[in-house]
Structure 1
Amino acid sequence: MAGPGVPLRVVSYNIHSQRDDTAALAEVVRAAEPDVVIVQEGPRRFRWRQKCASLADSFGLVVAAGGLPALGNLLLVSLRVRVLATRCRRYSLTPGRHLRGAAYAECLAGGARFLLAGSHLSTDPAERPAQATAFKRELAAATLPVVAGADLNEGPDGPAWRTVAAGLTDTAVAADRADRHTFPCADPRRRIDAVFVDPRIDVVDYDVVDSPRTRRASDHFPILVDLLLPAAG
């Protein structure tokens, strides 16, 4: 990447619908001091707007996009990040199948524009490929550098993972930490959560945060990634 980059700290986190230790959850995110948080299993039902705002406030952040319109996918940002435009998508639904969606936000940080995106694919392997294709369609159409976090519910050898990852950088691989498992916290043995970025973005650091607090906060570990966005100009 030519010229100085703009730092961006990203957390991608399946918060298990806040069914675990919510105080620990807030402590985990606040300690990371992220610029953006990509949430899976965020509020999506009764009073979801209020609940999304409360969750964001507990993290010291504000809501950018998501919630019910994105079926629980939620994008949160710090005051350092300006949100320029947002949209939410729901994947094509078949009666009796799982509801899934995605959230997208065009953002500006330190003069660098980027597309922030998040999704959570089905636990059903028959449903995931079509969902991955729908999520990827939006990412592939983006002209801005992409920062995408997702719970893919399968590992890197799966077809849905390969669909989403195509043409993007797997931040774990870039940091030589693809051996770090993200799920389940009680017995971590799978890497089903990921952050993918545009090849124009540099991966500075990557971590799967395994600590006593993260083991209380959710059934997934959070991913923490430090990036350098391409500077404008």
Structure 2
Amino acid sequence: MVEHTDGVPLRVVSYNIHSQRDDTAALAAVVRAAAPDVVIVQEGPRRFRWRQKTAALAESFGLVVAAGGLPSLGNVLLTSLRVRVTDTRCGRFPLTPGRHLRGVAYADCVVGRGARFTVAGSHLSTDPAERPGQAALLKRDLDAATLPVIAGADLNEGPDGPAWATVAAGLTDAALAMDRADRLTFSCANPSRRIDALFVDPRIRVVDYDVVDTPQTRRASDHFPVLVDLLLPADG
């Protein structure tokens, strides 16, 4: 990408890939066509041979693995070679008996002329009683980050929900920034909800936002990918 005089461009995709249970060739084609610098994956590899599967997923996208997998319970961060990863960490939310364990992946990165940022990816519970507590833990970590934050998540609720409000507080909802909150992300079979979001630090400028709805994306997963172009402060 060509760097701007007022910042460093970064293209980000946040994508629930449905555990690769759909058309994986279409999935790879969708991501490659987007040519992202960072992909925030929900429902990525998290079980047997997860390292090999995560590496294969990254290779199919033309990217490399930054963080995530089993330690973050299927949340995976992938980057292009343009992005340098300086630190990573993973977390898990407390387990509610009888429910699925959920987690989060983080990576501190540098791109371009020293633009530093923290990228986070998470997938909150389908249980409305469980989500607010998970959102509070995620938000605590986001607030503690010293670098400008980019957070992609499948929140499993819409913008009117309490967990969404918790995560969004003090951050920019990329869809709202571009006046495109009407772009629905789930499901591909019957688009009816915006439950996938990308939030960014106010120091980061949102240049463009889209939910990619094409015949390929409808074959690739049960969620549409969220595609966002950002402009990072060069002194991150």
Give the TM-score normalised by structure 1.
0.98
- Matched residue, 1:201: 204
Matched, 1:6 2:8: yes
Partner residue in 1 for 2:221:
218
Alpha-carbon shift at residue 98 of structure 1 (Å): 1.7
- Alignment counterpart, residue 119 of structure 1, candidates 117, 122, 129: 122
Q: Tell me the amino acid that sits aligned with residue 60 of structure 2.
A: S
Deviation for aligned residue 1:95: 2.0
* Residue of structure 2 in register with 1:66 after alignment: 68
> Residue 94 of structure 1: which of 90, 93, 96 is its match?
96
Q: Secondary structure at the match of 1:12?
A: strand
- Alignment correspondent of 2:167: 164
* SS of structure 2 residue aligned to 1:172: helix
One-letter identity of the residue aligned with 2:92 = R
State the aligned residue count. 231
Indicate the residue corresponding to 1:133 in structure 2: 136
Query: What secondary structure is seen at the aligned counterpart in 1 of 2:90?
Result: strand
Q: CA RMSD in A?
A: 0.8
Task: Using the TM superposition, give the Cα deviation of residue 94 of structure 1 relative to its aligned residue in structure 2, in angstroms.
Answer: 2.3
Amino acid at match of 1:69: P
Q: Quote the residue 1:47 is aligned against.
A: 49
2:231 to 203, 215, 228: 228
> What residue number does 2:179 align with?
176
Normalised TM-score (structure 2): 0.97
Structure 2 residue ranges without an equivalent (≥5): none
Task: Write the letter of the residue equivalent to 2:192.
Answer: R
Which one of the candidate residues 98, 105, 113 is aligned to 1:103? Answer: 105
AA matched with 1:24: A
Q: Deviations over 1:171-205 (max 9, x none)?
A: 00000000000000011010000000000000000
Quick one: distance in 1 between partners of 2:12 and 2:180?
16
1:84 aligned onto 2:75: no
Aligned to 2:190: 187
C-alpha separation in 2, matches of 1:167 and 1:98: 29
The answer to whether 1:25 aligns with 2:55 is no
Paired residue type of 2:49: R
Identity, in percent, stands at 82
> Offset at 1:96?
1.4
SS in 2 for 1:160: helix
